């Protein structure tokens, strides 16, 4: 079983070398997708034995994930594990994902910061937690999911399962498209607990998405578009869309 660790980065000069040092203790194959960083991140990456995709301009979080999926498929990996580079995902949790992969029971293993309450967990900004909770509840009600954290980027994806999907969302709403297609195509999903860490509660999404109402509306718009596109497949699996936020 070959697995790739894929790490999207954007202006992470403060963290990137420390994170890569920790990741390389658990993986030989590491891909960094530099999404048009304008700080020293591109100059630091050659110091580590990792592969790099470099975007000439910022293309979006979803675009970086799609690049990682393509790389993993072309290079013959069985799984890709994605994680962030801001020290909010602990590389020491990689073995937990590998243990879940080795059961060969699931196609997607998604990290959850809310499965268990750790006594040393950080408190997320309430607005972000509230939007995560709203969207997670709507996805569960609409798709019959039983997840606890819709937006955690610490995930393991089976490459052969991803080949069934037609993902093209470029930005932060990528999970909306992903969860709908995963259920429409019958992927087997599980969660593993990861520690809730917020090093910098002031970090922003950039642009209009910094407004909570606009961000929630954008997520719902992408969700409803994908539900509409995948409606025949979802209904063939016995899933009713009456609970969708756009129903009626």
The torsion angle over the Cα atoms of residues 59, 62, 68 and 70, rounded to 10 degrees, is -90
Q: Can you give the residue range of the structural domain that contains 212?
A: 3-236
- Residue 207 resides in a domain: yes
Structurally, the chain folds into a number of domains equal to 1
Hunting for tokens 């000069």 — which residue is that?
A: 13
Looking at every residue in the chain, the average pLDDT score rounds to: 92
Is 97 contained in some domain? yes
Instruction: Check: CB of residue 242 under 8 Å from CB of residue 138.
Output: no
Q: What percentage of the chain carries pLDDT values higher than 70?
A: 93
Flag whether pLDDT at 199 surpasses 70: no
Q: Which residue, among 9, 143, 155, 179, has the nearest Cα to 69 in the 3D structure? A: 155
**What is the share, in percent, of the chain residues with pLDDT greater than 90?**
81
Residues 6+ apart with CB under 8 A from 56: 36
Tokens for 224, please give them: 């409803």
pLDDT for the residue numbered 197? 81
Instruction: Examine residue 164 and state whether it is found in any structural domain, yes or no.
Output: yes
Residue 245 lies inside a defined structural domain of this protein: no
Give the mean pLDDT of 195-201: 75
pLDDT at 132 over 70: yes
Name which residue leads in pLDDT, 101 or 208. 101
- Give the CATH number of the domain where residue 123 resides: 3.90.550.10
* Residue, of 60 and 245, whose pLDDT is higher: 60
Q: Which helix (H) or strand (E) holds 33?
A: strand 30-34
Q: What confidence tens digit (pLDDT) does each residue in 139-184 have?
A: 999 999 999 999 999 999 999 999 999 999 999 999 999 999 999 9
Tokens of 105: 């029971």
Residue 246 in any domain: the answer is: no
| 244 within domain boundaries | no
pLDDT band at 207 (very low <50, low <70, confident <90, very high): confident
State the average pLDDT over residues 229-244: 88
Cα angle: 139, vertex 149, 83; to 5 degrees? 125
Residue 242 included in any domain? no
Q: Rounded mean pLDDT of 46-67?
A: 97
On the question of pLDDT at 206 being above 90, the answer is: no
Q: Quote the pLDDT of residue 136.
A: 97
Query: Stretch 57-75: mean pLDDT, rounded?
Result: 97
Q: What is the pLDDT of residue 196?
A: 85
Query: Per the domain annotation, does 55 fall within a domain?
Result: yes
Give the global pTM. Answer: 0.94
Per-residue confidence (pLDDT) for residue 246, from 0 to 100? 79
């Amino acid at each position: 079983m070959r697995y790739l660790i894929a790490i999207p980065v954007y202006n992470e000069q403060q963290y990137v070398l420390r994170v890569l040092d920790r990741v390389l203790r658990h993986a030989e194959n590491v891909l960094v997708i530099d999404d048009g960083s304008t700080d020293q991140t591109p100059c630091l990456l050659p110091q580590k034995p990792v592969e790099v995709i470099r975007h000439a301009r910022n293309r979006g979080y979803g675009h970086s994930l799609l690049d990682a999926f393509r790389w993993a498929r072309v290079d013959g990996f069985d799984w890709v594990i994605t994680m962030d580079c801001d020290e909010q995902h602990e590389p020491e949790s990689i073995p937990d994902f590998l243990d879940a992969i080795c059961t060969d029971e699931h196609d997607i293993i998604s990290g959850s910061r809310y499965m268990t309450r750790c006594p040393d967990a950080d408190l997320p900004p309430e607005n972000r937690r509230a939007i995560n909770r709203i969207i997670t509840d709507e996805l569960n009600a609409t798709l019959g999911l039983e997840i606890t954290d819709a937006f955690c980027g610490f995930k393991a994806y089976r490459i052969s399962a991803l080949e069934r999907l037609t993902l093209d969302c470029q930005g932060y709403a990528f999970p909306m498209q992903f969860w709908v297609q995963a259920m429409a195509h019958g992927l087997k999903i599980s969660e593993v607990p990861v520690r809730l860490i917020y090093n910098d509660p002031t970090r922003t999404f950039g642009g209009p998405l910094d407004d909570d109402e606009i961000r929630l509306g954008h997520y719902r718009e992408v969700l409803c578009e994908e539900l509409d596109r995948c409606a025949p497949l979802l209904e063939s699996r016995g899933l009713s869309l009456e609970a969708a936020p756009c129903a009626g």
